[in-house]
């Protein structure tokens, strides 16, 4: 039997909520970019979805997720195959992947921006990374998003300054394809869990973290959030899940992911 | 055929306006010594194709880049490349911003001698909005539209490897050869720098022969430059230089590229290596943990 924890951080709550995104994936490559998404994918692989595949974030596929950060000198990772970048693209294009990432903007269509903010395209005000692999990820396989600071700059008004990933924008549906071909799964933030399962693929509230209100989520989202008649509280981690998370993150990098590392249950 | 050249003679083959592909990935196994040789040269107006790191930042800052073909430019542990940002935010360069996989397809198309490769990647995104030269096509086999990713034909590719022989057989012993094989194949002229020049018999061991990712006909020139990937990594020989990348990034805020180059670039690679602490120090850089 599992025991529900009473003492946990918001980061740990988010890891457990984000792990749920991978529960029914079957045998796909789970790519969590950033500490919380990586721990979420690792937790899912170590518990309810052992069929998940994972890399060492460098060039090998692992049969067992690596702990984060510096590891003991005698640590041997559980390689199961080579998985260099060129092979990652073969996997992406096959569709057998679910990535969880943290874009800088997410608009009402679920389109995201990783490239540039403001100004003109020729001369942006703030240049970021570039489109990276988002165009390919978004049209080839499932994607989820993690947002450590839910606010109206990320969940912004209008359309993304640069659309890195395809979403549910009717004006951008490619000929011969349908909006339903796009597969955005979960959006996990420091306030709540959402998806794009509302009418016409609008963003929809799935659960609120302990102590968070519907109003708080709406105030921090620049477009309407569809709110079902009853919204559950995001389930607390179990004691067993917290132990697995602690073993996967021995240097407690998760404590530095959400501002001030607040407790999961608001004081 | 003896393909050995000095860095200066190899880089002298690059002419104004050429399209130059650069191997490696972000801060990993970049042909930085060859990039530095470009900084010491008069060549200009380059079109650069790269999974970019400080290679792109330095070339942009030094005014060598007319156009950049990129999916990202990043130092990974420092996500935002400082001089690339300056170049973009001042409107100094033309860009062709594409998806990482589209770049691979473009290199493959060039390598295979086909004008394009069809893909769904890019559809619905601003990668197409801002690249009107990338065309959509109908398929003869279905009713969908497809992106015709054009061949990215390279005049020159620059690649750094662990070891090579005088004929251009190249070993990459690290965990990933990235897309370097496609950069080698997509270029008319592939200039390879190596950490160590080895005898041909080195490759007799099948395990080593399996670490060769393109045949020697795709290598045009071999330049022996121990430590030549610094400050990027050349795993397993050395990791990337965290302290140097931090100093590089800080220079963008104070001192600028002139200050950085004044302090480090030197007249040749030997002087550069003295300025960054010497080859022993480079070889002692710890490998990163991901």
Closest CA to B234 of B288, B280, B276, B185: B288
Domain count along chain A: 1
Residue A64 lies in a domain: yes
Cis check for the bond before B236: say yes or no (omega within 30 of 0): yes
Who's near B137: CB < 8 A, 6+ residues apart?
B116, B118, B145, B146, B147, B148
Closest-CA residue in chain B for A172? Answer: B124
pLDDT at A188: 98
Q: Does A183 touch chain B (CB under 8 A)?
A: no
Contact between chains at B178 and A84 (C-beta distance less than 8 A):
yes
Contact between chains at B88 and A93 (C-beta distance less than 8 A):
no
Chain A residues with CB under 8 Å of B134 CB are none
pLDDT in tens for each of the 290 residues of chain B?
999 999 999 999 999 999 999 999 999 999 999 999 999 999 999 999 999 999 999 999 999 999 999 999 999 999 999 999 999 999 999 999 999 999 999 999 999 999 999 999 999 999 999 999 999 999 999 999 999 999 999 999 999 999 999 999 999 999 999 999 999 999 999 999 999 999 999 999 999 999 999 999 999 999 999 999 999 999 999 999 999 999 999 999 999 999 999 999 999 999 999 999 999 999 999 998 88
Q: Does B127 touch chain A (CB under 8 A)?
A: yes
Contact between chains at A128 and B130 (C-beta distance less than 8 A):
no
List the Cα angle A105/B81/A189 in 5-degree steps: 25
Q: Output the six-digit token pair for A105.
A: 């903007």
Look up the CATH number of the domain holding residue A54: 3.40.1080.10
Spatial distance between the Cα atoms of A190 and A202, rounded to a whole number of angstroms: 20
- Domain positions in chain B are 7-97+154-282, 116-150
Determine the residue among A83, A86, A119, A164 to mutate to test chain B binding: the one whose Cβ has the most chain B Cβ atoms within 10 Å: A86
Say if strands B116-119 and B145-150 run parallel, antiparallel, or are unpaired.
Answer: antiparallel
Residue A205 lies in a domain: no
Q: Does B254 touch chain A (CB under 8 A)?
A: no
> What are A117's strand-pairing partners?
A126
pLDDT at A267: 78
Residue A40's domain spans which residues?
Answer: 10-70+83-190+235-256
Contact between chains at B290 and A57 (C-beta distance less than 8 A):
yes
Residues A10-20 have pLDDT tens digits of 999 999 999 99
Percent of chain A with pLDDT over 90: 99
Instruction: With beta carbons less than 8 A apart as the criterion, state whether B133 and A184 touch.
Output: no
pTM as predicted = 0.97
Q: How buried is B196 (Cβ within 10 angstroms: 0-12 exposed, 13-18 middle, 19+ buried)?
A: middle
Residue A263 lies in a domain: no
Strands in B9-132 per DSSP E: 19-22, 46-50, 65-70, 94-97, 116-119
Q: Output the six-digit token pair for B61.
A: 């800052």
Query: Please, which residues 65-94 of chain A have a Cβ atom closer than 8 Å to chain B?
Result: 66, 69-71, 84-86, 89, 92-93
pLDDT at A2: 87
Contact between chains at B104 and A119 (C-beta distance less than 8 A):
no
Spatial distance between the Cα atoms of B32 and B54, rounded to a whole number of angstroms: 8
**10 Å Cβ neighbour count for B191?**
29
Three-state SS sequence of B197-228: ECCHHHHHCHHHHCCCCCCHHHCCEEEECCCC
Mean pLDDT of A103-125: 98
Spatial distance between the Cα atoms of B129 and B124, rounded to a whole number of angstroms: 9
Contact between chains at B290 and A56 (C-beta distance less than 8 A):
yes
Contact between chains at A139 and B25 (C-beta distance less than 8 A):
no
Residue A175 lies in a domain: yes
Instruction: With beta carbons less than 8 A apart as the criterion, state whether B21 and B52 touch.
Output: no
Confidence of residue A1 (pLDDT cuts 50, 70, 90): low
Average pLDDT of chain A to the nearest whole number: 97
Residue A17 lies in a domain: yes
List the Cα angle A69/A72/A76 in 5-degree steps: 95
Residue A196 lies in a domain: no
Chain A residues with CB under 8 Å of B79 CB are 129
Q: For residue A60, give the nearest of B100, B124, B175 by CB distance.
A: B175
Residues A241-256 have pLDDT tens digits of 999 999 999 999 999 9
Contact between chains at A133 and B85 (C-beta distance less than 8 A):
no
- ipTM of the predicted structure? 0.97
pLDDT at A233: 98
Q: Does B137 touch chain A (CB under 8 A)?
A: no
Determine the CATH number of domain B7-97+154-282: 3.40.1080.10
Q: For residue A174, give the nearest of B73, B88, B123 by CB distance.
A: B123
Q: Does B80 touch chain A (CB under 8 A)?
A: yes
Q: Does B142 touch chain A (CB under 8 A)?
A: yes
Tell me how many residue pairs between chain A and chain B have CB atoms under 8 A apart: 140
Spatial distance between the Cα atoms of A18 and A25, rounded to a whole number of angstroms: 13
Q: For residue A133, give the nearest of B85, B91, B99 by CB distance.
A: B99
Spatial distance between the Cα atoms of A258 and A190, rounded to a whole number of angstroms: 7
Closest-CA residue in chain A for B76? Answer: A129
Number of Cα atoms under 13 Å in the Cβ half of residue B214: 23
Residues A60-87 have pLDDT tens digits of 999 999 999 999 999 999 999 999 999 9
């Amino acid at each position: 039997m599992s025991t529900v924890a009473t003492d946990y951080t918001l980061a740990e709550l988010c890891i457990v909520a984000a792990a749920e995104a991978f529960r029914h994936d079957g045998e796909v490559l789970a790519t969590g970019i950033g500490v919380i998404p990586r721990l979420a994918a690792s937790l899912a692989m170590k518990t309810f979805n052992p069929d998940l595949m994972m890399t060492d974030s460098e060039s090998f596929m692992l049969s067992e997720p690596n702990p984060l950060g510096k590891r003991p000198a005698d640590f041997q990772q559980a390689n199961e195959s080579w998985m260099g970048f060129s092979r990652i693209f073969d996997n992406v294009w096959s569709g057998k992947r679910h990535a969880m990432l943290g874009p800088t903007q997410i608009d009402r269509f679920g389109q995201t921006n990783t490239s540039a903010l403001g100004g003109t395209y020729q001369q942006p005000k703030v240049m970021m990374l570039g489109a990276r692999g988002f165009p390919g990820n978004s049209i080839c396989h499932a994607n989820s998003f993690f947002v450590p600071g839910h606010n109206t700059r990320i969940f912004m008004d209008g359309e993304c300054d640069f659309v890195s990933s395809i979403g549910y924008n009717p004006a951008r549906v490619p000929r011969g394809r349908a909006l339903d071909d796009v597969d955005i799964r979960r959006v996990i933030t420091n306030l709540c869990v959402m998806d794009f399962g509302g009418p016409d693929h609008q963003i929809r509230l799935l659960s609120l973290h302990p102590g968070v209100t519907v109003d708080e989520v709406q105030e921090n989202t620049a477009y309407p959030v569809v709110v079902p008649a009853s919204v559950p509280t995001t389930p607390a981690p179990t004691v067993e899940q917290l132990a697995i998370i602690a073993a996967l993150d021995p240097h407690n990098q998760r404590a530095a992911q959400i501002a001030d590392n607040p407790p999961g249950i608001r004081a | 055929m003896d393909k050995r050249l000095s860095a200066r003679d190899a880089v002298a083959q690059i002419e104004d306006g050429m399209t130059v592909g650069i191997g490696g990935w972000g801060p990993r196994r970049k042909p930085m010594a060859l990039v530095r040789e470009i900084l010491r040269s008069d060549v200009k107006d380059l079109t650069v194709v790269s999974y970019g790191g400080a290679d792109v930042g330095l070339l942009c800052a030094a005014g060598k880049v007319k156009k950049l073909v990129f999916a990202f430019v990043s130092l990974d542990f420092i996500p935002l490349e400082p001089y690339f940002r300056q170049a973009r935010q001042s409107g100094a360069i033309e860009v062709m911003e594409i998806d990482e996989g589209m770049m691979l397809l473009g290199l493959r198309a060039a390598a295979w001698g086909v004008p394009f490769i069809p893909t769904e990647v890019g559809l619905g995104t601003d990668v197409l909005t801002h690249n009107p030269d990338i065309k959509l096509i109908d398929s003869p086999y279905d009713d969908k539209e497809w992106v015709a990713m054009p061949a990215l034909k390279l005049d020159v590719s620059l690649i750094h490897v662990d070891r090579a022989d005088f004929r251009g057989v190249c070993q990459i012993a690290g965990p990933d050869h990235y897309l370097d094989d496609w950069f080698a194949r997509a270029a008319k002229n592939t200039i390879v720098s190596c950490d160590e020049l080895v005898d041909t018999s080195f490759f007799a061991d099948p395990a080593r022969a399996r670490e060769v990712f393109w045949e020697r006909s795709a290598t045009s020139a071999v330049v022996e430059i121990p430590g030549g990937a610094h400050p990027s990594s050349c795993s397993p020989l050395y990791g990337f230089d965290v302290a140097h990348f931090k100093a590089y990034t800080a220079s963008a805020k104070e001192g600028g590229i002139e200050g950085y180059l004044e302090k480090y670039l030197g007249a040749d690679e030997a002087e550069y290596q003295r300025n960054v602490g010497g080859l022993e120090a480079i070889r002692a850089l710890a490998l990163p943990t991901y």
